[in-house]
Structures are given as structure tokens and as C-alpha cells.
Amino acid sequence: MKKMLQLVLFAVLAVATISYAGVKVNALAESFEGDTFPPEGWSGDWFKSNTFTVSGDYCAGTYYYSATAKMLETPVISIEAGSDMKFAWKNANFLSIPPSKKERGNEKIVGHDSTYFDISTDNGANWTNLHVLSSEIIEMEYSSVKVDLASYEGQDVKFRWKFVCDGGYEGTSVGLDNVYIGVDNEAPEAQEIYGNVSYDGLDMELDIAVMDLAGMEGDIVATYNLNGSDEDVTLTLSEKNGRFNLHGLIPGQPAGTTGSITIPLIDIKDNSGSATYDIEWKNMPVVIDESFEGDTYPAEGWDITRYNGYSYWNRVKSGSVLAYGTVAQDGEYFLEFGNTMARIESYPVDLSGYTSSEFSLYIYNDKEMISWMGNDTLQVQVLTLDDKSEWVNAGERIYKWNGNDAEDKQWVQYNVDLSDFVGAGKPLVKVGVLGEQAYYTHIDNFQLVGQGSGIEETIVEAAELYQNYPNPFNPSTSISFKNTTAGYVKLSVFNIKGELVRTLINGNMSAAAHKINFNASNLNSGVYYYTLETPAGSMTKKMILVK
């Protein structure tokens, strides 16, 4: 029997009339992007999260912090004939395992923390359970959930997500996004695309994520256009927990080549459509400077490889409930690794022009965290692109607690020598950071720089301004910079309004590395900026004073 490609749109669709002004609506499309939370007509004590989104900037979420059940309820919805319900669901942390479950031999282990997805036909007076989400879906990535509403046609119903936690440290954080209820007559769309930016001469490895893809006969043939010429590319389908990916390879092109790829789609209701994305080949990078502040995560060209369903690399915003009080080392965001083993991987880097190279990253030194989670490790690794068979360890393992009490609750910089991978004739590489049992380890600001012929003019001969240390600080911090040309230097500190608060250096200095102490004991807590002006140009970085 011929199978069809089923692709369900997880976005704000054009559906039947939606009115949040009254008590009841007859359709719903909610991606939690509005200014208020819960959205109008909804109720509950979950929060708006920017950490676990499947699309857009926000989702709904909650996490384990008490034994009290946390609810999120929809408005009352009149179910029309032919209506569908679907939503994206994610378990974002590992599950808490009650001891009794651990002792039951080969029985499937499920989490003690659970989310119950319920329906009510009497405005919330009574509830019927439809799914136990945290037990049924244990992979730590978004999965699609579909609900058959045929038996509720013509009825007024409410839905709720009820999160129940045992109150322990181990537990589950959850994310809910793109809730849709209504009659879907719209053409389907793909969810996300990865890999549509490649680098000079390298093949483009495409990965298109789609939700609720029921299956198909054969693969999808897409069309890409380069320089006005169309070519076909076969996209191979893979599936896991209702989340489907399409994979394909476009042969490498010179830097500067641009074009587009169009993917034909059809859903179970024979709604046909297509998804078109830009594709581009850029110049080969020779440095890494990534603090994950951009609009997309993973950042452009980066990837994440997980070795089991529970490990993760999440991007966390300073001040969010999931930050556990950590403030980003640079900017607003930092990364958090959790559980057993996963690697975050950079875009390709050309080290052939270097004579030496160094990779650095910051880890938040947290003695308290290891008291209940253990002092687990990260490992910097390198993959050469002419032999993709094995990632090679670079340097020693890095522990999230370095044993220095004076640096507790501070970001600590770690440097790893990559000189074994540099030099003429050496292949392109990717740099990865492998988390190994590193529960709740906070990481920020990955950088790779080097020295060598052909690179020195752009990397070394320009003045360099480094991130202050420590950061955040109270009340003193050190600011370091490298002045490669003797002459006039000015180093100034400004507040968030752009007002000058201190001039630290104003005069001629030698061509050398310099460090100066900045004492902010007379300033208020907040964000400050420091600007270095030299004959080679000016540059600015941000620092945070916390009192």
C-alpha cells in the first residue's frame, strides 16, 4: 500500500475564527510568543521560557523545584468536525528514578517526575488522562504529540498539562510549544533547516527537521538552484519519536556561491506545498569566537552530537529560572551541559597557516554544585575533515570545579594547546567539547586563535582586547589588551547609557601586552562597557558589576 508523506504544520496557522475575548474559542494556535503569559484565556503557573523553544523565541515550560503540581490549562474550546490537535513536547533534563523502579530487573525504567496531559468536558470540574508524557516520551528532544479529537466533536473541552515532581534535585524540565487545535486546510511547511551554510569547497550537509511525518514511499527529491541552473538532490528520511529529519548532500562550491533549495511537501490530507531556503558557501574560517548570543541555536555552522536520549547542550539566559543564579561570562547567554555524553561541535576551521594555535573556553567554578552532582568533566576534541572517523582528545580533561576556593562562583578560563593540528598541509578541522557525566556544567565564550605566516597580519598584528577577569566582578577586575603598534592608547569605561565613568589609560604605550586593574567600588551594580582605542582601531567589550 502506498504510503504518503505526512507533514503537520507546527506554526500559527490560518484556522477558523479565534477569539480570546470570550470564555470559549473554536480553534487554537499558540506558540507563546506574545507579551503576556499565560496567554489570554489560558491559566496556570508554568512560565514563559526562551531555553527550550522548537520555533520562535519562546515556549511554555516548568521544572522540578517542589513537590507541588504545576498546571497549564487552555481556554474552553468547541471541537469542530475534522479538527486536529497537535503540540511539540520536550523533556529537557534527565528523569528522577525512584529506588523501587531501579530494583525491578529488566522492567522499563520511567521517571518519578511526570507530566499528565488531560482533557475535561465539564469546564475543569473533572479530568480524564490522555497521556503520561514524561513516561511515554523520554528522549531529550522535541517530539510531536497528536490527539484524536473525533470522539469529542461538538463538545466544549479544556486541556491541561499537569507536571508532578517528587521535589528532589534530580528531575525533569519540560517544554511545550506550538499548540494547534483546529481544521487544518493549509499547505504544510518544514520546521527548521540546518547546514544550509557551508564553506569554501566543502560539501553542504543538509538536515531539515519536520514534525509529525507519518511515512512515505521512497525519499524526497528536492531541487536546488545555483547560478540559474537547477539540480536535483535526494533527501533521505529518518525518524525518531515522531520527529523526522530529511538528510541530503550538495557538492561543494567556491566561497561566495549562493542559491536556494526547494523541498516538495504533502500532508495526510493531500495539502501540498513546498519549503524554500537560501543556501550559501562562505570563506573558510581561521578563528573561532562564539559566545552563542545570536538569533539561532546552535549557532551557524555548529552542531550537537548526543550519544543517548538524555544528554543535552542547552542555551540558558542569565536571570532565567534554569540559570541557577549563574550570570553569563559574556553577553546574556551561556551553555549548560547535562547528563552522560554529548558533544557540541564547531564549524570547520583552517589551521594550515598557523605555527601554533590555542582553544579556550570558560567554565563556571561552582563548589556547591559538585556537592550533590559530582565534579564531572569536559574534554576538548578535534576532528580532521580528511578522516572523519574519530574525534581526537586535545589536552587534559577539564573539571567543573578546579579546587581553588578563591575562584568559587566565578568564571574560570581554560586554554588547550592545538599546535599538533596546525601547519602547512594540515587538513581542516572541527573543534568539539565533549561533556562526560558533567551534570549542570555552565560553559561560555569559545575562542580559537593562532599565530603563523599568512595569518599574523590579520590575527596578530591587530590590537587585541580581552574579556575582563573575573566577570562578573565585585569590586575589582583586570582588563588585558595587546598593543601591537607603539603609540597612543586610550582605555575608557562607560555605563549602559553611554556615559563616560572612568578613563583608565590615555597616552602613549609600547607595543606589548598590558593589564590594568579597574576598581568599581564607587559604582552601582550593572552592565558597563570598556573601549580600547589604538592606532590599529577601536574595540569594545561588556562587563558586569554585581554587588
- pLDDT score recorded for residue 110: 42
- pLDDT score recorded for residue 61: 85
Q: Mark the ranges of the chain whose per-residue pLDDT is less than 50.
A: 1-23, 94-111, 136-139, 168-170, 212-216, 241-242, 453-461
- pLDDT score recorded for residue 339: 67
Question: Which residue segments constitute the domains of the chain, with CATH numbers given?
Answer: 24-182 (2.60.120.260), 192-282 (2.60.40.10), 284-461 (2.60.120.200), 463-547 (2.60.40.2550)
- Measure CA 522 to chain center: 37
- pLDDT score recorded for residue 102: 34
What is the pTM (predicted TM-score) of this model? 0.60
- pLDDT score recorded for residue 225: 95
Q: Three-class SS of residue 201?
A: coil
Dump the DSSP string for 207-276.
Answer: EEEEES----SS-EEEEEEETTEEEEEEEEEEEETTEEEEEEEE----TT-EEEEEEEEE-TT--EEEEE
Q: What is the pLDDT of residues 43-90, one digit of tens each?
A: 999 988 766 666 667 889 887 655 578 899 999 999 988 887 888 887
Contact, 86 vs 176, CB < 8 A?
Answer: no
Q: For residue 184, what is its C-alpha cell?
A: 487544518
H/E segment holding residue 457: helix 456-459
Query: How many Cβ atoms are within 10 Å of 199's Cβ, its own excluded?
Result: 21
Q: Three-class SS of residue 184?
A: coil
Dump the DSSP string for 260-329.
Answer: EEEEEEE-TT--EEEEEEEEEEEPPPS-EEE-S-SSSSSPTT-EEEESSTT-EEEEEETTSGGGTT---S
User: Cα Rg for the chain, rounded, in angstroms?
Assistant: 26
- pLDDT score recorded for residue 95: 39
CA dihedral 365, 369, 375, 377 (to 10 degrees): -60
* Residue closest to 481 by CA, chosen among 523, 444, 510: 510
- pLDDT score recorded for residue 522: 87
